[in-house]
Structure 1
């Protein structure tokens, strides 16, 4: 469907916003919105005045075709954001996606480890590994950053903000996410930087001065996990470390908003995915086990 000229002009403004400034992000938004445009055309609707019920029918149609919840969420979120901008520019009278229910986020399947296991991994690295490995784990554990941020952060982005030492981590859309460098993480990072030197560029480099790759970091994490006695170390991904840090903080009672700020999430709903009630620890299985053992012992005594 061809959108009206006014809508096209407004869309250009919408795509130029800070959150959608990268070419890859813009392509994704255009793709997601184009599905809604197809729906509007197929239903013979007017783009600027679509009845609210149509958004729910559109969502139901996507669900009926078997699209994954994340895909449906992305398409609905893109359309809602687009219409918010169309309303601001006077192209649309209403936003048919306002107030609609979003598909539930699927339960996370990322393998994560406990806070104690993260501590075991770092302790092993401090005792047995190179200064670079210690620093890599310290930054991963201390900032819960993504691997792209770890590998992309430059030496000049290790700086100060007021009285705090910070890392300005590169994130999606050409933005940076500022995180505090705590004293012990800073100590391990400085130990590595004393060896690395002050040559500008990525903080984490190979011995030949080349930037590291995500595959190397994944293998390093899994190797250290194995050495620290973490079960099934081969199932631990780099994102699993980020997940583990967030879950450990939430399990320890840290406020959701604080963890959200650390992770750089726009929505607390995204952070909530990392909150895992400790169902195994709360399980009544041990109490049942004790009762069964006691009952068997009583009966055994009576029959002997």
Structure 2
């Protein structure tokens, strides 16, 4: 049995040795060559694509299918079901289906195979990953990390306070100008996603640090009155979104927070803590600038998950191991 010159997947080569589908080794080899040369994919990416086809080749063998033209929608649904039964996550199943669709498109374009049924099959919906958040105590630790005896420490403290206190996206914080802030009402004019304006509120603590930064530190970074940006670097330029992300990451690691904690986690924490405190979902939606309440709904799931963890850790009966409870009658 011959294979194409390029097949960077030992796992696939082993499976193909058992395959009864004529020319399948050469077809997969041609697809690998095409992906590397025409599509200019790296060898690592090509290997991943080929590896994602391994379960499909195994399923062909299990179903004793020797003709690829017999692969119809029903067959493909059975294949996807077998992946789920085998324990693959939804995202893995979706990725393997995507790889199969790419392979079948190649076969339609370059070989006498129809294989049009695969495009009619949709994969499982991706699982919604709950956003990383921090408890209020962890947020306190984070906010206390900057050394406010230094100018950059005051600026960084003000940035952290505003990100958490107003629930800002990093792009929104980066775009803030002096004229966007009203210290009297504790409001910030925000241009959100899709250039949608909104008013963000911030509390007294965030306001105190923001005012200290604007009055005492910002003039040292830039003395030009024409500079409109609030957040400045020490060279007098607007602080970039990437710089703000690095600032948050630095202090999050120093505070011992989850390694996955990032700038947007402050926004997640802002929303979750509001809901935990009894805020109405619609109000939180407006504060976040979400167009749909469905987008905000995920934070109710986070709160429920937190409530479950607190219950399991704190309630004395919840911590007891599950045991079979015998009735009194059974003891008599």
Distance in 1 between residues matched to 2:210 and 2:144, nearest whole Å: 15
The answer to whether the aligner puts 1:196 opposite 2:225 as a matched pair is no
1:77-127 CA distance string (max 9 Å, x none) = xxxxxxxxxxxxxxxxxxxxxxxxxx9784234322112211221123365
1:290 to partner: Cα distance: 6.1
Larger relative CO (CA 8 A, sep 6+): 1 or 2?
1
User: Which of 237, 252, 255 is the matching residue for 2:277?
Assistant: 252
Q: 4+ residue runs of structure 1 moved beyond 3 angstroms?
A: 103-106, 126-129, 284-292
CA RMSD of aligned residues (A): 3.4
Distance in 1 between residues matched to 2:199 and 2:126, nearest whole Å: 27
Distance in 1 between residues matched to 2:155 and 2:145, nearest whole Å: 14
1:289 to partner: Cα distance: 8.3
User: Which of 186, 191, 204 is the matching residue for 1:170?
Assistant: 191
Partner of 2:204: 183
What is the TM-score normalised by the length of structure 1? 0.55
Give the SS at the match of 1:168: strand
Query: Is contact 1:157–1:168 with CA below 8 Å preserved after alignment?
Result: yes
What is the TM-score normalised by the length of structure 2? 0.51
Give the SS at the match of 1:203: coil
| Long gaps (5+) in structure 1 | 1-63, 69-102, 293-304
Distance in 2 between residues matched to 1:214 and 1:153, nearest whole Å: 11
The answer to whether the aligner puts 1:223 opposite 2:250 as a matched pair is yes
Distance in 2 between residues matched to 1:237 and 1:188, nearest whole Å: 21
1:139 to partner: Cα distance: 0.6
Give the length in aligned residue pairs.
195
1:205 to partner: Cα distance: 1.2
1:226 to partner: Cα distance: 2.2
1:121-153 CA distance string (max 9 Å, x none) = 112336566111011001101100100000011
Q: Could you say if the C-alpha distance between residues 260 and 126 of structure 1 is closer, same or farther in structure 2, counting changes exceeding 3 Å?
A: farther
Q: Could you say if the C-alpha distance between residues 208 and 270 of structure 1 is closer, same or farther in structure 2, counting changes exceeding 3 Å?
A: same
Larger CA Rg, structure 1 vs 2: 2
Q: Could you say if the C-alpha distance between residues 222 and 206 of structure 1 is closer, same or farther in structure 2, counting changes exceeding 3 Å?
A: same
Distance in 2 between residues matched to 1:271 and 1:105, nearest whole Å: 18
Partner of 2:139: 118
Give the SS at the match of 2:235: coil
Aligned ranges 1:144-159 → 2 under 5 Å: 144-159=167-182
Query: Is contact 1:112–1:243 with CA below 8 Å preserved after alignment?
Result: yes
Distance in 1 between residues matched to 2:187 and 2:313, nearest whole Å: 44
Q: Could you say if the C-alpha distance between residues 137 and 173 of structure 1 is closer, same or farther in structure 2, counting changes exceeding 3 Å?
A: same
Partner of 2:293: 268
Distance in 1 between residues matched to 2:284 and 2:318, nearest whole Å: 37
Distance in 2 between residues matched to 1:134 and 1:168, nearest whole Å: 20
Distance in 2 between residues matched to 1:105 and 1:111, nearest whole Å: 18
The answer to whether the aligner puts 1:207 opposite 2:234 as a matched pair is yes
The answer to whether the aligner puts 1:281 opposite 2:299 as a matched pair is no
